[in-house]
Amino acid sequence: MEILIISGLSGGGKSKAASFLEDMGYYIVDNMPAAMMLKFAEFCTAGGNGRYDRVALVYDVRTASSPTELFEVLDKLKGMDCTCRMLFLTADQERIITRYKETRRRHPLSGGATSLEEAVRRERELMRPVRERADFVIDTSELSTAQLRGELLRLFDSRGIQGGMSVSLISFGYKYGLPLEADLVLDVRFMPNPYYVDELRHQNGMDAAVYDYVFGFAQTRDYLKKLEDLLAFTLPLYTEEGKTVLVIAVGCTGGHHRSVAVARALSTFIGALGYQVTVNHRDISREA
């Protein structure tokens, strides 16, 4: 079992971090007092159904009674049969004040402070011991939302940044129209067409004979190599920009032969890069 404590300054990015971690498979509990963490961990361990294998608990100044209490709980959690780490999110004073002005929310400590600036300063001092104990500290002052997501993927997803995006490959026939959901469209109608080979006409790109025919030409192999270079370069950039699903459509005339074979080859390559890949041969069952 893995327990991640998400802490940090108000306005530092805890809510966004929690939502990204939830997308990565963590079970999120917000506003968790330190005194309840042990009981919750025991409950999760006893569950044994896999739902609570990765848990992230949000702890901040709203629930902070004493850092000492939190540290005692952390020591006990690390003594249990689980991995326990703490993430602290922070930002500079000016950036936090700007974020509060943009959202028009009240700072949790504003009730006892004469100004927002004073409230932010007080919270920073109160949470200083927590920051010093954290395993990971992320300063979000200059990070975009996509960059924060990328940092979390690198730190907490075993697949690295590749785990932040899945790739959907669709083979299709141009005569039946473009897939509406496509982000990238590849036209492979320039390749020699197995349709005009009698023994291949009623087969498709899933059959070895058709696949071997399509890739038996140097132009097909050269094209695939250039595609692989392009995708190896661009896929990480799409991920860093925050894209969660990239749809690549590969089209030939009828969607039976060339597009299916090329989609198969791309699926193998992209999967080897570490991305989750799905393949849909949209028009393969239509009559040739």
Q: Dump the DSSP string for 177-191.
A: ---TT-SEEEE-TTS
- The per-residue pLDDT string of the chain (288 residues; one tens digit each, 9 = 90 and over) reads 888 999 999 999 999 999 999 988 899 998 888 888 888 888 877 766 667 888 999 988 776 567 888 888 888 887 777 788 999 999 999 999 998 888 778 888 877 667 888 888 988 998 999 999 999 999 999 988 888 888 888 888 766 666 668 899 999 999 999 999 999 999 999 999 999 999 999 999 999 999 999 999 999 999 999 999 999 999 988 887 778 899 999 999 999 999 999 999 999 999 999 898 999 999 999 886
The CATH class given to the 2-158 domain equals: alpha beta
Backbone φ and ψ of 269, nearest 5°: -65, -50
**Domain spans in the chain, listed from the N-terminal domain onward:** 2-158, 163-281
Q: What is the pTM (predicted TM-score) of this model?
A: 0.65
CA dist 282 and 288 (Å) reads 13
Dihedral over Cα of 138, 140, 143, 148: its sign = positive
